[in-house]
Amino acid sequence: MDKNFHQKPITFVGEVSLNVLDLNKAILFYQEIIGLQVLKKTDRLAVLTTDGKTPLLTLEQPADVIPKEGRTTGLYHFALLLPSRADLSIFLRHLLQTKYPFGAADHEVSEALYITDPDGNGIEVYTDRPSTVWRWAGGEVAMGTDPLDGNDLLEESDGEWSKLPAGTLMGHIHLHVADLRKTEEFYMQGLGFTVVNRYGGALFTSTGGYHHHIGLNTWNGVGAPAPKENSVGLNWYTLVFADEDARNKVTEQLQGIGAAVTEKEGFFAVTDPSGNEIHLVV
């Protein structure tokens, strides 16, 4: 894993927050199947980590929570990036041993496993191929969805699974949106991301030449409504900026395209045109 794509001065996704129906059931899944650890817990909220100090995923159970709504905007999946292919090999063996259902794909730039949590939230666990073998042409990176060679991946390591390695990062997030044109304006002109791939009703965007930090698609239908606030699914995600100046520049850009930026305690919040909430942090 090349950490340069997920550290300053690049802007990257840091943490994701989800609503769940049953907090304790969700914690059990994320500990036993995914391999995260509890950093902090209250009656209705749990912060999960891999290194014992950095929040990676926050789970929240609203008092009036309702099940995940279909055909809305919001989370398609969040993606945990493992430090090495050997780590993905170990994780694949773990999924096979637990018999938890999963999908798999070779995306050329990466190898990925796909899981759905008990509430219907999508999760990708993946590892990148070296950026030196990514194929770029005309400012776009070649990505596909090919079958994963699971046997070859399993041969990468015979290590025993215990939990996700401490170096695991939030590699990217992929969102359902209502309108690609408005979405592109918001993420490019407002947040300062670059489109690095266009593919079947989806945009893949990044900073610093990564294959994608944020995926955006209309696969739930053009004009899909935003889910209710108390629905299972995405609460918010964070974008981590290099410094205050970088964040202030983006805040001005967002205001310049008419987006409302709200100052909160320690961060700024903005909502994309499809209702996905983003916390801008330093």
pLDDT at position 1 over 80:
no
Question: For residue 3, is pLDDT > 80?
Answer: no
* Residues forming a β-bridge with 18: 59, 234
Rounded distance, CA 102 to CA 205, Å?
A: 26
Average pLDDT, the chain: 97
Q: Given a cut of 80, is residue 2 above it in pLDDT?
A: no
Q: How confident is the model at residue 200, as a pLDDT?
A: 86
- The pTM score is 0.97
pLDDT tens digits for range 180-237:
999 999 999 999 999 999 988 999 999 999 999 999 999 999 999 999 999 999 999 9
Q: Has residue 63 got a pLDDT over 90?
A: yes
Rg (CA), the chain: 18
Distance CA 45, CA 161 (A): 27
Instruction: Report how far Cα 96 is from the mean position of its chain's Cα atoms.
Output: 23
Give dist(CA 48, CA 76) in Å, integer: 20
Please return the burial class of 225, using the count of CB atoms within 10 Å of its CB with bins 0-12, 13-18 and 19+: middle
Kindly report, residue by residue over 144-159, the tens digit of the pLDDT.
999 999 999 999 999 9
